[in-house]
Amino acid sequence: MKRFTYTRAETVADAVAALAARPQAQFLAGGTNLVDLMKYDVARPDAIIDINSLPLKEIEELPDGGFRIGALASNSGVAYDARIQARFPLLASAILAGASPQLRNAATTGGNLLQRTRCSYFYDPSTPCNKREPGSGCAAIGGLTRMHAILGASDKCIAVHPSDMCVALAALDATVEVVGPDSARDIAFGDFHRLPGDEPQRDNTLACDELVTGIRLEANHFADHYTYLKLRDRLSYAFALVSVAAAMEIADGRVVDLRIALGGVAHRPWRDPLVEAEYAGAPAEDVTFQRVADRLLLQAKGLGGNDFKIPLARKAIVRALRQAAGGTPQSQTIKAIQ
Amino acid sequence: MLDRSKIVGLPISRIDGPLKVTGQAKYAAEHFEPGMLFGHVALATIAAGRILAIDTRAAERVRGVVKIYTHENRPKAAYRDSKWKDAVALPGHPFRPLENDRVLFDGQPVAFVVAETPEAARDAAGLIHVHYAAETPHTDIMAEQHNSYEPPVARMKQFLPPPPRGDAEAAFAAAPHKISADYVLAGEHHNPMELFAATVRFEDEGRLTIHDKTQGSQNSRDYVCGVFGLDPDKVIVKNDFVGGAFGQALRPKHHLFFAVMASLDLSRSMKVEMTRREMFYLSWRPSCVQTVSLAADDEGYLQAVLHHAVHTTSRHEDYQENVANWSGLAYKCDNVKISYELVKLDLATPGDMRAPGAASGVAALETAMDELACEVGIDPLELRVRNFVHRDQNQDKAITSKALHACYREGAKRFGWSQRSPKPRSMRDGNDLVGWGMAGGIWEAMMSKGEAKVRLSADGNVMVSAAASDIGTGTYTILGQLAAEVFDCPMDAVTVDIGRSDLPKTGVEGGSWTAATTGSAVQAAAKAVVKTLLDHAKSMENSPLAKASEEQVEIAEGRLVLETNHQVGIALADIMAMAGLDAVEEHAKVGPDMLSMMRYAAYSHSAVFVEVKVDEELGVVRVKSAAFRSQRNATAVTEPAHCPFA
């Protein structure tokens, strides 16, 4: 345990200024992940800047039909917003596939983007971990790898991103709005989370002096053909072994526009727009879906304990695309896989 | 057994329920003493090796730290192993915290910090740096199986495999139908809601009052008295409420040792509460590897049963449980061979956890029975019925009661078992393959030695007391019901006083024996009260009960009356007034009847029916519904069999 100061920021500018003054500070929103990590002595901030008073809770419709979701809108607030459910049901479904009602009530949109991996070695300060302590090594490599990456891993880190919501946001091409001390900027969702490479301590491309203020979603035509299929060791309150966010537009039996992102398989939500483009116009049938799966997993590599994830991901992709094409999205309340 | 029931068996609310749901029930860590200190344990981060040095300098600088204990400065405690052995101790050497520089298992305590606040203690514990000479740890039972051995000292006689019957190997070789398979079970770690904790109040003249999270207050008392050489009359251990235990709190854990050690050393009240993580290391269901081989003739009659079980234990103790013996007693078979071995790993000693042994061994046996049914080509329920026994096959003893046949029948009826299609892969629901399965269950119906005191006051109030523990099983309510039944009084007239070591002698709460043991003691004490009342009543002038015997009277509506004619009797208040008493109190001692035990074996049996759906493509398994019926031995009658259908 480390001593830390606690301050409350009232405006975005205050929050960013407070962070600039204390480089080891961390923002506190819902606290569902940060407080946990502090208890485990994994996160060791010297200052906590509580941002819950900032005016970032709104979910607003934009003139072009898109939506802007404030960074402090709760996961439950987003998932149960009637407009989100009607226009972005994939997002609502993905959120409801994760955590528990209590956690979703407390957790925020911005916090969900920034949650850390649940790699059990990362959580155990008595083991080396390049993400927790750069340069100390990786205990997961050669350890128990059931929950670890099959895509995009490095020899420094094989952890996966734990979010369900982010898998949907990746598929939906969201934009992350951030504010720094001097300026605000947008980050395309695909550029937000990163692969571990040689710097696994960096989960994302947010600068160390920036604050996530919200995300934007563009209007789309995916409300009829989507699904979020999450496979896990138990059917509730567990992180994904493999999850698939799929959305498509179908015309005359053909996939006009395809979006597919995978969770639980890499250091970030895994998406390959080139594969999606390649199959635009292909018939909405199993043969197409199998090819998409094969292409997405072409580079997949097992580590022993997670070898099963490769065939599992292949089958999950096919099933998810079938669910989306058929207009029968996976229910997150009746948890039997459809 | 009670022949009729007024209160026992009724669906009444738990008498401790209101205290628990309003947060007034205090658990071990929720007691505070003025000026108390707080302790926190630092755990080993290696599983095998030696401590070379412990650097406590940073920890000592934390504001509020009072003292840091390591193996280099730990106060003296008992020398002989026997002093460290609690009532549930195992063959081997009991673990002694901070005894020396050896690290015997992952998560072993290596230092203990005492501070003015729990935060300071925890903070400082995290700053202790231990330098180790680490050895390669062995933690995988599969890799260490070649080092298995038969336990040289049995924990209990009945855990030893029964002698072989017939020639199992030859019969297996000759039989027309057979299966042989390995069943590998990972270790299971229980982690009940209440953390292990002890609050020690340091009193004058070396008296200690300890709130401990334990399944036996007297076991904890005897343990600390043995380890620290204390006078048992000066130590009281309380466990009024226990937030779940499942067997993990049968044996005293290091939190109790440290809390008492520091309290004595510093002459201060102390509190030690474990972390959730610390709990995971301790007293777990051992990983277990079993080979079960079954053979049958064409009709499904068992020709051979071979069951070999190997499970984990620690370096320093031989934990043992009855894994495989069930295979010898549950079904009719003339050729049986059972063997049982242990493997030492660098892990904390396993412990009893929810039906220890049976949960592993019966699962393997019953799975093998299903596989055999498939091999022979008969219904799995029919296979069990054909090999049904009314006697314990290992001991060749009659069974006190066994209604498993009726249980099978009722379960099958409610589940709709006759609709089952036996052919593999023949039942489907959408993407799911559907399977229906069943199994039998068995557990010993045990009773141990126990005592209780029952006091009936002239105003009709009843006090029941025993050093029993209620680990969430309903002991408070059950004991109250049994007394209320004898005295024909409402439940709110009964006070149940348990969870304290200075009450009548009671063993640990475990093995499903408390209702049978302490319940019987309460009944016996209550009946002794009735007898005393009758003795007084008989000596009254013109007593209407002058010629009545103990068996002929009972209490009804506040009067001692003839069982056959409630008009004839005397008010309890009048009997006590005449005798000049405010109350009648009796103490009773019960124990298993050794003569009966030589002739009979007692078990609980159950049958389980389940539907399992498997998404073949994705491998997702769902247990959709389960039927469960159990019937208990006649000694435990307070909770009706239940049958939850999902």
pLDDT in tens, B413-439: 989 999 999 888 999 999 999 999 999
**Is pLDDT above 70 for B637?**
no
Structure token pair of residue B328:
């010898």
Same domain, B246 and B348: no
Q: Report chain A's terminal Cα–Cα distance, integer Å.
A: 46
User: Across the interface, do A312 and B618 touch by the CB < 8 Å criterion?
Assistant: yes
- Quick one: CA torsion of A301, A302, A306, A307, rounded to 10 degrees? 110
pLDDT for residue B121:
97
At CB < 8 Å, which residues of chain A contact B? 1, 41, 126, 231, 235, 312, 315-316, 319, 336-338
For residues B613 and B619, the answer to whether their CB atoms sit within 8 Å is no
Same domain, B466 and B535: yes
Same domain, B459 and B553: yes
**Is pLDDT above 60 for B628?**
no
User: Across the interface, do A338 and B119 touch by the CB < 8 Å criterion?
Assistant: no
Same domain, B129 and B155: no
pLDDT for residue B633:
37
Interface test with A, best of B618, B621, B623, B624 (most A CBs within 10 A): B618
Q: Is residue B571 part of a domain?
A: yes
**Is pLDDT above 80 for B635?**
no
Q: Is residue B519 part of a domain?
A: yes
**Is pLDDT above 60 for B642?**
no
Only one residue has tokens 């099959």, namely A150
**Is pLDDT above 60 for B394?**
yes
For residues B468 and B499, the answer to whether their CB atoms sit within 8 Å is yes
Same domain, B419 and B350: no
Structure token pair of residue B541:
């002038």
**Number of structural domains found in chain B:** 4
- Name residues whose C-beta falls within 8 Å of residue B416's C-beta, 6 or more positions apart in sequence: none
From the list B123, B431, B432, the residue facing A1 with the nearest CB is B123
Same domain, B487 and B585: yes
From the list A41, A316, A337, the residue facing B126 with the nearest CB is A41
Same domain, B317 and B272: no
What parts of chain A have a pLDDT lower than 70? 1
User: Across the interface, do A338 and B430 touch by the CB < 8 Å criterion?
Assistant: yes
Residue A141, class by beta-carbon neighbours within 10 Å (0-12 exposed, 13-18 middle, 19+ buried)? middle
User: Across the interface, do B122 and A1 touch by the CB < 8 Å criterion?
Assistant: yes
Q: What is the mean pLDDT of chain B?
A: 94
At CB < 8 Å, which residues of chain B contact A? 45, 119, 122-123, 126, 430-432, 613, 615, 617-620, 622
Same domain, B525 and B644: no
Q: What is the pLDDT of residues B557-597, one digit of tens each?
A: 999 999 999 999 999 999 999 999 999 999 999 999 999 99
| Dist. CA A103–CA A230, nearest whole Å | 18
Interface test with B, best of A126, A235, A244, A307 (most B CBs within 10 A): A126
Q: What is the pLDDT of residues B353-377, one digit of tens each?
A: 999 999 999 999 999 999 999 999 9
From the list B45, B122, B618, the residue facing A126 with the nearest CB is B45
Chain B residues lying within 8 Å of A242, measured CB to CB: none
pLDDT band per the 50, 70, 90 thresholds, residue B511: confident
Q: Is residue B290 part of a domain?
A: yes
- Chain B CA closest to residue A232: B620
Only one residue has tokens 């020690």, namely B200
Q: Is residue B12 part of a domain?
A: no
User: Across the interface, do A338 and B432 touch by the CB < 8 Å criterion?
Assistant: no
pLDDT for residue B551:
96
Structure token pair of residue A235:
């059917």
Q: What is the pLDDT of residues A128-185, one digit of tens each?
A: 999 999 999 999 999 999 999 999 999 999 999 999 999 999 999 999 999 999 999 9
pLDDT band per the 50, 70, 90 thresholds, residue B107: very high
Q: What is the pLDDT of residues B232-248, one digit of tens each?
A: 999 999 999 999 999 99
**Is pLDDT above 60 for B288?**
yes
pLDDT for residue B623:
87
Q: What is the pLDDT of residues B158-201, one digit of tens each?
A: 899 999 999 999 999 999 999 999 999 999 998 999 999 999 99
For residues A69 and A215, the answer to whether their CB atoms sit within 8 Å is yes
Q: Model's pTM, two decimal places?
A: 0.91
Same domain, B165 and B102: no
The CATH number corresponding to A5-49 among 3.40.50.720, 3.30.450.40, 3.20.20.70, 3.30.43.10 equals 3.30.43.10
pLDDT for residue B110:
98
Q: How many beta-carbon contacts under 8 Å exist across A and B?
A: 26
pLDDT for residue A264:
98
The CATH number corresponding to A231-325 among 3.40.50.2300, 3.30.390.50, 3.30.565.10, 3.40.50.720 equals 3.30.390.50
User: Across the interface, do A319 and B617 touch by the CB < 8 Å criterion?
Assistant: yes
Average pLDDT over residues B2-17: 82
| DSSP assignments along B59-109, one per residue | HHTSTTEEEEE-TTTPPP---SHHHH--TT--SBPPP-TT-SSEE-STT-E
Same domain, B455 and B524: yes
For chain B, give percent helix, strand, coil, nearest 5. Answer: 30, 30, 45
* Gyration radius of chain B's alpha carbons: 28
Same domain, B36 and B101: yes
Q: Which of B281, B306, B338 is where one domain is finished?
A: B281
pLDDT for residue B4:
56
User: Across the interface, do A1 and B126 touch by the CB < 8 Å criterion?
Assistant: yes
Q: What is the CATH number of the domain that holds B341?
A: 3.30.365.10
Same domain, B63 and B161: no
* Residue bearing the bigger pLDDT, A182 or B2: A182
Ramachandran region, residue A20 (left: φ > 0; alpha: ψ -120 to 50; beta: rest): alpha
Domain membership of residue B94 as a residue range: 31-136+190-281
> Domain ranges in chain A?
5-49, 231-325
Q: Is residue B4 part of a domain?
A: no
pLDDT for residue B641:
32
| Dist. CA A57–CA A70, nearest whole Å | 5
Only one residue has tokens 């630092």, namely B42
User: Across the interface, do A337 and B613 touch by the CB < 8 Å criterion?
Assistant: no
pLDDT band per the 50, 70, 90 thresholds, residue B89: very high
Structure ipTM over 0.90, yes or no? no
Q: Is residue B107 part of a domain?
A: yes
pLDDT for residue B644:
30
pLDDT for residue B385:
97
Residue in A286, A16, A304, A337 with CA at minimum distance from that of residue B617? A337
Residue in A167, A188, A172, A192 with CA at minimum distance from that of residue A317? A167
